Structure 1
Amino acid sequence: MTEPVTVEVGTMGRVAYARIAPNEDLVQGVEKLCLAHGFRNAFVRGALGSLVDACLGTRDGKFIQIKGPAVEIVSLAGEVRSDVDGSITASLSGVVADTNGDVYGGPFVAGSNTVCMTFEVTIEEWLPSEKSIAA
């Protein structure tokens, strides 16, 4: 059985190439960048950097802690969405590798992924229109 799907209509806006500083949380850093540039909705398109330690969510609602130092981010993608109250929330998922080369994937837990040195990220603004299409 399939669930109803809504397709959002909109256009792409501005692009920000930005840096998140050391000792700042990855997820919260993306949210701060969006607020600073006035992006209410956005896609995280790419990134390069490492974390002190990583914390990823699991399917059963728990989390896994990957110890560093310097847990490398292999890939990262996600989106930022505005809430009714005007606040924004980033949902980021990715793949990380620890110092032994072991690889882990999942959603990054906000407040638990501190940037190690610097973190480069590309954020593309999404401008939804008033129309949505039920598919």
Structure 2
Amino acid sequence: MGRVAYARIGPNEDLVQGVEKFCLSLGFRHAFVRGALGSLVDACLYTAQGGYRRIEGPAVEIVSLAGEVRAQPDGSLRASLSGVVADPAGQVHGGPFVPGANAICMTFEVTLEEWLPEPALARLNGVSV
């Protein structure tokens, strides 16, 4: 494992894209979500049938969040985030978050842990591979 970082994502920024942007700013090529706290204006989750479900807000709370960020062959990063949300009536919903469709309500805090593939970890520790 590598560095651990904490980020605050601001209002109206997309959850998935905000995590990707934060990783890019730190030079993280691969990372795991280790903790999160915040709410969304509305939530949009993929369904098992291949569609998506919109959960209307305001202030859809994220109850739990898990996921990872991975470098793509073209050098971009892709975050795959899944979670459980609670709507204003207290109903819970879960699934993968649709990129570009989950705007942060006020603020969102997330803790990420950098994952170093074995050759990178060895170089960090001064071992040649």
The TM-score normalised by the length of structure 2 is 0.91
- Deviating runs (4+, > 6 A) in structure 1? none
What is the deviation of 1:129?
A: 1.6
Q: Provide the C-alpha distance between the structure 1 equivalents of 2:37 and 2:68, rounded to a whole number of angstroms.
A: 17
Q: Provide the C-alpha distance between the structure 1 equivalents of 2:49 and 2:73, rounded to a whole number of angstroms.
A: 28
**SS of residue paired to 1:127:** coil
**SS of residue paired to 1:22:** coil
2:81 maps to 92
Q: How does 1:65-104 map to 2 (within 5 A)?
A: 65-104=54-93
Give the structure with the higher percent strand.
1
1:21 maps to 10
What is the deviation of 1:91?
A: 0.1
Percent of counterpart pairs with the same letter? 76
1:124 partnered with 2:113: yes
What is the deviation of 1:112?
A: 0.2
What is the deviation of 1:85?
A: 1.1
Unaligned stretches of 5+ residues in structure 1: 1-11, 131-135
Aligned length: 119
Q: Provide the C-alpha distance between the structure 2 equivalents of 1:92 and 1:46, rounded to a whole number of angstroms.
A: 12
Q: Provide the C-alpha distance between the structure 2 equivalents of 1:128 and 1:109, rounded to a whole number of angstroms.
A: 27
The TM-score normalised by the length of structure 1 is 0.87
Q: Select which of 32, 38, 43 maps to 1:49.
A: 38
1:11-52: CA deviation from partner (whole Å, max 9, x where unpaired): x00001110010100000000000000000000111000000
